[in-house]
C-alpha cells in the first residue's frame, strides 16, 4: 500500500439517536442494549397517528455552547434561529468536530477548506404551512424561502467558520454521506484543497417519513437488519463529520480513507439490483485502488436497512466478492436510517470499530434469514477483528452504490 | 489527455421527440427527469456507436447539478397528502421528489454504470458539476462524463424570491443543459474544447448566501460578455460546430457573483492525426 494515497482523518464527530457524541454512540453499540430512542413520534411529526417508530434526537438540538458558537452566523444573516433542524444537527456536530480535532475557529479562519456535505431532506423545501397557504392563494411572508436559501449545508459551514474554498452538497439519496466523504477524499488527492470537512446531516422529516411508508418500506417495529423476520426500516436523524487532509503522521490521527468508489446499477428507480451487481463493482474497485488482498479486510459495515430487498441484494454482493466468512454488521438497528447522514455516521462508526478491533453485533438481528449467506453478526455477539481495515458501504434510490475502504490509526 | 468537451445540448421543454422505448420508460417520470433524459439523448445520440466501442458501461458517469431540484414534484406529493390524507401520499411522486431520481433514469436508459452524482448549489451549479467531472476524468476514475444542469419553473419560488429580495424580476424557467466530456482520444471525432485551470472559490462567509445572481463573464476576441450557464452552453455549442481549422481565439471565463469566484479558460482541442 502506498501511504501517499491515504487520506488522513484528523478529527471526527457524530450525533445520532444512539449517542450524542461518537464515544457514547460506539459504547452503546458495544453494550448491545437494544434500540434506544426508537419510538413513535406522532406527537412531534404527525397530525394523524402513524404506527411507524423512528429514531429521534429529541426536540432540542442546540445547547448554550453551540448557540454561542453559531451566533455570529445567525446575526450576519439576520436570523433568529437556524434555518432548519438539519442545520441545527449539522452545526452541533461541527462544534464537536472542532473540539475533537483540537481546532479553534480562528485557527482556520480565511484558510482554504473544501467542504462536502451529503443530505437528502436538507436540500428539500419541506415547509408545509408555507406551501399550504400558497396553494390556497395566499402570499405568505417569505421567511420559509429565506430559510430555504440559507440552508445549503456546505455554505452554512463555510459561513460559520469564515473559511474559503470550494463547497458542495451531494444529494445521492441514502448514499450521500458516503459520497461526500469519498468526493472530499478525491479533492484531497487531487490537490483541490489541503484540508476538507466532509460528512452528512439529515433530520427526521414528516414528508420523508410519509414517503417511505407510502412506498411500504417502513416497519411497524424496531428494524431487524438481515433477520428472517425483518419487515422494513425505521428512519432516524443525525450527522457525522470528518476533518480530512493528505497523509500525515500525527498522534491526532483517527484513521485513514484508503479507497472510494461509486457505481450505478442502471436497473430500477428505487430498488437495488437483486444480485447487487453495482455494489460488487464498487467493492472490487476499492480493493483494486488500495492494492490490498481481499483477505486483509476485517469487516463490513453494511447498509443493512432491514428491508427485504436491500439486505438480500447486499448479501449477494458481499458473498460474491469477499465470501461468506467476513464479519458483517449493520448499525441501523441502533441509529435508524439517517438517509443522507447514514453513510457518514456509519463510516465514523467503522473507524471506531477498527481502532478498537471489535465488531459488535447487529441490534435487532436475532435469527438470520436463511437466504442470506454472509456472516452477519447477531445481537449480543462481538467479533475480534483480525486487521484494522474495513468497508463502509451505502446503497441508494436511483441505483447508487458507494463504498469506502477505511483503516484505523497506525 | 486533458478532459475535452465533445458536445453540448440544451432543452427547454419536455416535449422532445424521443424514441418510443425511452418515452415508455419515462411514462411516470416528472418534468425534471424528462428534461434531463431529453438533453442526455440529444447529447449522446450521435456518439452511441463510438461510446459503445471505446468505453464500458462502468466507465461512463453522470454529474447532475441543480439549484432547487424537483421542487415542484415535491409540491405535487404534498398535494396528495393534503388532499387524501397522510397515509395516502403518492409513492410515485415521492420517489420522483428525491434529487437524484433523474440520474437514476439516465443511468438506466443509457447504460451508464460508473459514478453518478447529483449536486445542489445556489451558486455555480454547472461549474461545480464541471469541476467534479474534470476531477473524475483527471483521476482516471471514469472515461466519459455526462454533465447536466437543470431547473424547473416554480411560481412559488419566483414569487417568494421576488418578495424576499424586493425585486421585480426573478424567474426560474424549465431547462436542462447537457455537456459530454471525455479523457479518451478515441472518443473525440475531430474537435473538442478543453477546460483549463478551473478554480472555484465560494465566499459564503463574506456575503449573504441567498444571493442567487451569478453572471458568467466571458472574455474572448477582445470582448467581454455577461451571460448565464444556459447562454454559455449555446455559445459553446456553436463554437464546437465551427470548423476545427478555423482560427478562433481561446476563451477566458470568469464567473463572478457576490458569493464567490470561479474562473478558467477554454481552448480548442486538436486531435493528433498520424500521417
| Segment holding A11, helix H or strand E | strand A7-16
Ramachandran class of A236: left when φ > 0, alpha when ψ lies in -120 to 50, beta otherwise: beta
Percent of chain A topping pLDDT 90: 83
* Grid cell digits, residue A224: 431487524
The architecture of the domain spanning A8-408 is: 3-Layer(aba) Sandwich (3.40)
Residue A47: pLDDT band with limits 50, 70, 90: low
Mean pLDDT score, A313-327: 97
How many Cβ atoms from other residues are within 10 Å of residue A94's Cβ?
25
The model's pTM = 0.95
Q: Are B8 and B146 in contact (CB under 8 A)?
A: no
Q: How far apart are CA B85 and CA A382, in angstroms?
A: 44
Environment class of residue A247 by beta-carbon count within 10 Å: exposed (0-12), middle (13-18) or buried (19+)?
A: middle
Closest by Cα among A261, A275, A305 to A403: A261
Confidence of residue A77 (pLDDT cuts 50, 70, 90): confident
The mean predicted confidence, pLDDT, of chain A is 93
B contacts of A267 (beta carbons < 8 Å): 108
Residues pairing with A286 in the sheet: none
- What is the separation, in whole angstroms, between the first and last Cα of chain B? 20
Report d(CA A91, CA B58) in Å as an integer: 37
Residues 6 or more apart in contact with residue B84 via CB below 8 angstroms? none
Please report where in the chains the cell 445556489 appears, as a residue: B122
Q: Are the CB atoms for A164 and A107 separated by under 8 Å?
A: no
Catalytic member of A16, A38, A273, A337:
A337
Q: Which of B98, B111, B164 sits opposite A397 (nearest CB)?
A: B98
Full DSSP string of A337-348: B-GGGHHHHHHH
The grid coordinates of residue A29 equal: 453499540
What residues does each domain of chain B span?
4-270
Quick check: A206 pLDDT over 50?
A: yes
- Nearest-Cα residue of chain A relative to residue B136: A186
Say if strands A54-55 and A114-118 run parallel, antiparallel, or are unpaired.
unpaired
Looking up cell 472515461 gives: B143
Query: How confident is the model at residue A270, as a pLDDT?
Result: 82
Best B3, B136, B210, B263 residue to mutate vs chain A (most A CBs within 10 Å): B210
Whether residues B204 and A158 touch (CB distance < 8 A) is answered with yes
The arithmetic mean of pLDDT across residues A262-279, rounded, is 93
The mean pLDDT value for A393-398 works out to: 94
Q: State the DSSP code for A377.
A: P
Q: Is A273 a catalytic residue?
A: no
Is A46 a residue whose pLDDT tops 80?
Answer: no
Partner A, chain B 200-219, Cβ-Cβ below 8 Å:
200-206, 208-210, 212
As a whole number of angstroms, the distance between CA B129 and CA B125 comes to 6
pLDDT tens digits, residue range A151-204?
A: 999 999 999 999 988 899 999 999 999 999 999 999 999 999 999 999 999 999
The pLDDT of A141-151, averaged and rounded, is 92
Please tell me the distance in Å from A187's CA to the nearest CA on chain B: 8
Which H helix or E strand runs over A98?
helix A85-100
Spell out the CATH class of B4-270: alpha beta
8 A C-beta contact, residue A350 and residue A301: yes
- Dihedrals phi, psi of A99, to nearest 5 degrees: -65, -45
Residue of chain B with shortest Cα separation from A74: B208
Contacts with A, B 83-112, CB within 8 Å = 85-91, 94-95, 97-101, 103-105, 107-108, 111-112
A109 forms beta bridges with: none
Q: What is the pLDDT of residue A333?
A: 94
Q: For residue A404, which residues of chain B lie inside 8 Å, CB to CB?
A: none
Question: What is the grid cell recorded at A59?
Answer: 426536540
The answer to whether residues B119 and B129 touch, using CB atoms and an 8 Å cutoff, is yes
Q: What is the pLDDT of residues B13-55, one digit of tens each?
A: 766 789 999 999 999 999 999 999 999 999 999 888 889 999 9
> Which among A74, A162, A77, A71 has a CA at the least distance from the CA of A115?
A162
Q: What is the DSSP code string of chain B?
A: ---EEEEEEEESSS-----HHHHHHTTT--HHHHHHHHHHHHHHGGGHHHHHHH--GGGEEEEEEESS-SHHHHHHHHHHHHHH-GGG--HHHHHHTSTTHHHHHHHHHHT--S-EEEEE-SS-HHHHHHHHHHHHHHTTS-SEEEEEEEE---HHHHHHHHHHHT-S------EEEEEEEES-GGG--SEEEEEEEEEEEE-TTTS-TT---EEEEEEETTEEEEE-HHHHHHHHHHHHHS-TTS----EEEEEEETTEEEEEEEEEEE-----
What is the C-alpha to C-alpha distance for residues B232 and B225, in angstroms, rounded to an integer? 10
Instruction: Provide CB contacts within 8 A for A391, sequence distance 6+.
Output: A283, A286, A297, A299, A300, A301, A350, A403, A404, A405, A406
Residue B90: count other Cβ atoms within 10 Å of its Cβ: 17
Whether B54 has its CB under 8 Å from any CB of chain A: the answer is no
What is d(CA A308, CA A281) in angstroms, rounded to the nearest whole number?
Answer: 22
Question: Is B75 close to A135, i.e. CB distance below 8 A?
Answer: yes
In this structure, the strands spanning A299-301 and A358-360 are unpaired
**What ipTM was reported for this prediction?**
0.96
SS3 label, residue A263: strand
Residues A337 and A323: their CA atoms lie apart, in Å, by 26
Residue A81 a catalytic site member: no
At A271, the pLDDT band (50, 70, 90 cuts) reads: confident
User: Which chain A residues are Cβ-neighbours of B99 within 8 angstroms?
Assistant: 120, 123-124, 171, 173
Chain center to CA of A39: 20
Question: For residues A183 and A257, what is the distance between their CA atoms, to the nearest angstrom?
Answer: 11
- A199 backbone dihedrals φ, ψ, rounded to 5°: 160, -150
Question: Among the listed ranges A113-127, A367-381, B237-251, which one has the minimum average pLDDT value?
Answer: B237-251
A174 given a catalytic annotation: yes
Residue labelled with grid coordinates 483527471: B138
Instruction: Please list, in sequence order, all residues whose beta carbon lies within 8 angstroms of the beta carbon of residue A11, skipping any fewer than 6 positions away.
Output: A97, A98, A100, A101, A102, A103, A242, A243, A252, A254
Residues on chain A touching B67 (C-beta within 8 angstroms): none
CA atoms within 13 Å, Cβ hemisphere of A389: 15
Count of CB pairs separated by less than 8 Å, A with B: 224
Q: Which chain A residues are closer than 8 Å to B82 by Cβ?
A: 132, 135
| pLDDT score for B148 | 97
- Is the Cα torsion angle A221, A361, A184, A20 positive or negative in sign? positive
> Mapping DSSP to helix (H, G, I), strand (E, B) and coil, where does residue A274 land?
coil
Q: What is the three-class DSSP state of A221?
A: coil
Low-confidence spans in chain B with pLDDT less than 50 = 244-245, 274-275
Residue B22: predicted pLDDT: 95
Amino acid at each position: 500500500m502506498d501511504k501517499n494515497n491515504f487520506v488522513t482523518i484528523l478529527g471526527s464527530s457524530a450525533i445520532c439517536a444512539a449517542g450524542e457524541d461518537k464515544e457514547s454512540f460506539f459504547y452503546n453499540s458495544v453494550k448491545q442494549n437494544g434500540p434506544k430512542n426508537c419510538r413513535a413520534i406522532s406527537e412531534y411529526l404527525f397530525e394523524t397517528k402513524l404506527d411507524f417508530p423512528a429514531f429521534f434526537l429529541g426536540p432540542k438540538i442546540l445547547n448554550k455552547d453551540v448557540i454561542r458558537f453559531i451566533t455570529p452566523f445567525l446575526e450576519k444573516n439576520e436570523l433568529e434561529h437556524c434555518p432548519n433542524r438539519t442545520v441545527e444537527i449539522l452545526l452541533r456536530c461541527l462544534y464537536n468536530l472542532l473540539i475533537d480535532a483540537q481546532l479553534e475557529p480562528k485557527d482556520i479562519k480565511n484558510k482554504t477548506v473544501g467542504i462536502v456535505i451529503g443530505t437528502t431532506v436538507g436540500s428539500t423545501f419541506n415547509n408545509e404551512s408555507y406551501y399550504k397557504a400558497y396553494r390556497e392563494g395566499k402570499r405568505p411572508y417569505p421567511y420559509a424561502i429565506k430559510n430555504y436559501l440559507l440552508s445549503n449545508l456546505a455554505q452554512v459551514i463555510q459561513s460559520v467558520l469564515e473559511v474559503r474554498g470550494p463547497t458542495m452538497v451531494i444529494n445521492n439519496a441514502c448514499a450521500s454521506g458516503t459520497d461526500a466523504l469519498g468526493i472530499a477524499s478525491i479533492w484531497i488527492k487531487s490537490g483541490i484543497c489541503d484540508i476538507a470537512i466532509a460528512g452528512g446531516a439529515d433530520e427526521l422529516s414528516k414528508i420523508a417519513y410519509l414517503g417511505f411508508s407510502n412506498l411500504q418500506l417502513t416497519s411497524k417495529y424496531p428494524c431487524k437488519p438481515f433477520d428472517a423476520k425483518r419487515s422494513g426500516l425505521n428512519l432516524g436523524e443525525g450527522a457525522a463529520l470528518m476533518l480530512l487532509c493528505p497523509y500525515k503522521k500525527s498522534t491526532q490521527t483517527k484513521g485513514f480513507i484508503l479507497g472510494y468508489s461509486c457505481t450505478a446499477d442502471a436497473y430500477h428507480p428505487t430498488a437495488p439490483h437483486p444480485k447487487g451487481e453495482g455494489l460488487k463493482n464498487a467493492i472490487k474497485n476499492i480493493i483494486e485502488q488500495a492494492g490490498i488482498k481481499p483477505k486483509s479486510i476485517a469487516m463490513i459495515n453494511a447498509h443493512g436497512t432491514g428491508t427485504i430487498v436491500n439486505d438480500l441484494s447486499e448479501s449477494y454482493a458481499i458473498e460474491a466478492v469477499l465470501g461468506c466468512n467476513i464479519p458483517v454488521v449493520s448499525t441501523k438497528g441502533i441509529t435508524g436510517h439517517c438517509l443522507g447522514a447514514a453513510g457518514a455516521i456509519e463510516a465514523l462508526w467503522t473507524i471506531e470499530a477498527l481502532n478498537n478491533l471489535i465488531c459488535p453485533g447487529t441490534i435487532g438481528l436475532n435469527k438470520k434469514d436463511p437466504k442470506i449467506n454472509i456472516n452477519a453478526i447477531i445481537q449480543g455477539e462481538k467479533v475480534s477483528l483480525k486487521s484494522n481495515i474495513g468497508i463502509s458501504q451505502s446503497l441508494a434510490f436511483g441505483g447508487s452504490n458507494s463504498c469506502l475502504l477505511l483503516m484505523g490509526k497506525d | 489527455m486533458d478532459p475535452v468537451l465533445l458536445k453540448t445540448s440544451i432543452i427547454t421543454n419536455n416535449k422532445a421527440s424521443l424514441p418510443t422505448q425511452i418515452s415508455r420508460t419515462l411514462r411516470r417520470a416528472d418534468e425534471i427527469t424528462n428534461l434531463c433524459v431529453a438533453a442526455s439523448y440529444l447529447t449522446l445520440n450521435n456518439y452511441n456507436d463510438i461510446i459503445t466501442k471505446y468505453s464500458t458501461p462502468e466507465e461512463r458517469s453522470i454529474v447532475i447539478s441543480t439549484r432547487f431540484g424537483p421542487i415542484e414534484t415535491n409540491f405535487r406529493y404534498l398535494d396528495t397528502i393534503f388532499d387524501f390524507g397522510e397515509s395516502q401520499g403518492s409513492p410515485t411522486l415521492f420517489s420522483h421528489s428525491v434529487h437524484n431520481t433523474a440520474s437514476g433514469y439516465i443511468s438506466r436508459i443509457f447504460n451508464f454504470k460508473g459514478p453518478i452524482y447529483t449536486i445542489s448549489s445556489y451558486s455555480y451549479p454547472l461549474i461545480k458539476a464541471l469541476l467534479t467531472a474534470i476531477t473524475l476524468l483527471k483521476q482516471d476514475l471514469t472515461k466519459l462524463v455526462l454533465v447536466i444542469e437543470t431547473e424547473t419553473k416554480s411560481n412559488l419560488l419566483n414569487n417568494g424570491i421576488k418578495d424576499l429580495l424586493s425585486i421585480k424580476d426573478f424567474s426560474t424557467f424549465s431547462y436542462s443543459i447537457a455537456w459530454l466530456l471525455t479523457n479518451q482520444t478515441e472518443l473525440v471525432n475531430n474537435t473538442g474544447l478543453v477546460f483549463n485551470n478551473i478554480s472555484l472559490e465560494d465566499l459564503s462567509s463574506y456575503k449573504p448566501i441567498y444571493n442567487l445572481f451569478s453572471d458568467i463573464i466571458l472574455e474572448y476576441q477582445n470582448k467581454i460578455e455577461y451571460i448565464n450557464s444556459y447562454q454559455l452552453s449555446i455559445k459553446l455549442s456553436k463554437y464546437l460546430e465551427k470548423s476545427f481549422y478555423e482560427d478562433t481565439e481561446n476563451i477566458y471565463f470568469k464567473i463572478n457573483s457576490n458569493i464567490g469566484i470561479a474562473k478558467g479558460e477554454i481552448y480548442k482541442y486538436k486531435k493528433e492525426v498520424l500521417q
